[in-house]
Amino acid sequence: MKAVEILNNHKIKRTSCREGIIEVVMTAKHALSENEIRERLSGNYDRTTFYRSFKTLEECKIIHKIVIDNQLVKYALDNTVTHKNEHAHFFCTKCNTVQCLDNVTVQKYKLPDGYSDFETDVLIKGICVNCKNQNKID
Ligand SMILES: [Zn+2]
Ligand SMILES: [Zn+2]
C-alpha cells in the first residue's frame, strides 16, 4: 500500500509531510522514535509542521505509539493500516531497537469483576536475534 492510499482510506488530506512520515515508518525495519522519523524525512519541514502532521497521523490511528519508558517512545504503523492482530512488542536492551512481533498475539486477560479494558500493551524486554547471533561469533 502507498502512503497516499493510506491517507485516502482514513479520509485525511494528503500533504507531503504526512506522506513522508508514513513512508519512513513503512520502510523502517524497526519502530522509530519521533526524532528518527524526522531525521529520515527527505523533505525539509519546520518543527511545527512536522509535529502537527505527526500528531494527526497518531490521532487518526495510522501510526501507533509503543512506550518503552518515559525516555523512549517509538512508533510503527497501526493495526488499522497493516491489518495485523494486536501483537506484542519486543525491546532489545542491547541494541535498543523495538520491533513488532506480528505473530505473538496479545491474549485477553481475565479481569476482576467490574473492570473493563480497552487496551492491552505487551512489551517484552530481552536480547534480539541479531544481538544473540553476534555474541556467538565473539
Ligand atoms: Zn538487539
Ligand atoms: Zn506494533
Q: Which ligand is nearest to the CA of 102?
A: 2
The CA-atom distances, in angstroms, between 33 and each of 68, 74, 119, 122 are 11, 4, 21, 18
> Which CATH number belongs to the domain containing residue 66 in this structure?
1.10.10.10
Note every long-range contact of 36-40, with CB atoms under 8 Å and residues 24 or more positions apart, other chains counting: 37/75
Q: Which ligand is nearest to the CA of 67?
A: 2
Residues having C-beta closer than 5 Å to ion ligand 2: 76, 100
Q: What predicted TM-score, i.e. pTM, was given to this entire model?
A: 0.83
Domain range for 84 is 3-137
Q: How far is the CA of 90 from the centre of ligand 1 (A)?
A: 10
Q: How far is the CA of 67 from the centre of ligand 2 (A)?
A: 11
Tell me if 15 sits within 8 A of 53, measured CB to CB: yes
DSSP conformational letter for 32: B
Q: What are the beta bridge partners of residue 63?
A: 77
Tell me if 103 sits within 8 A of 66, measured CB to CB: no
Task: Reply yes or no on whether the pLDDT at 138 is more than 60.
Answer: no
The percent of residues in the chain predicted with pLDDT above 70, rounded, is 97
Per-residue pLDDT band for 83 (boundaries 50, 70, 90) equals confident
Q: Which ligand is nearest to the CA of 79?
A: 2
Q: Which ligand is nearest to the CA of 130?
A: 1
Whose cell is 504503523? That residue is 77
- Least confident piece of the model among 22-26, 30-34, 102-106: 102-106
Q: Where are the alpha helices (DSSP H) in 47-128?
A: 47-59, 79-82
Tell me if 32 sits within 8 A of 90, measured CB to CB: no
What does the pLDDT average to over 54-74? 93
- Least confident piece of the model among 5-9, 24-28, 58-62, 119-123: 119-123
Task: Reply yes or no on whether the pLDDT at 75 is more than 80.
Answer: yes
Look up residue 34 and give its three cell numbers.
Answer: 519521533
Name the domain count of the chain. Answer: 1
Average confidence score pLDDT of the chain: 91
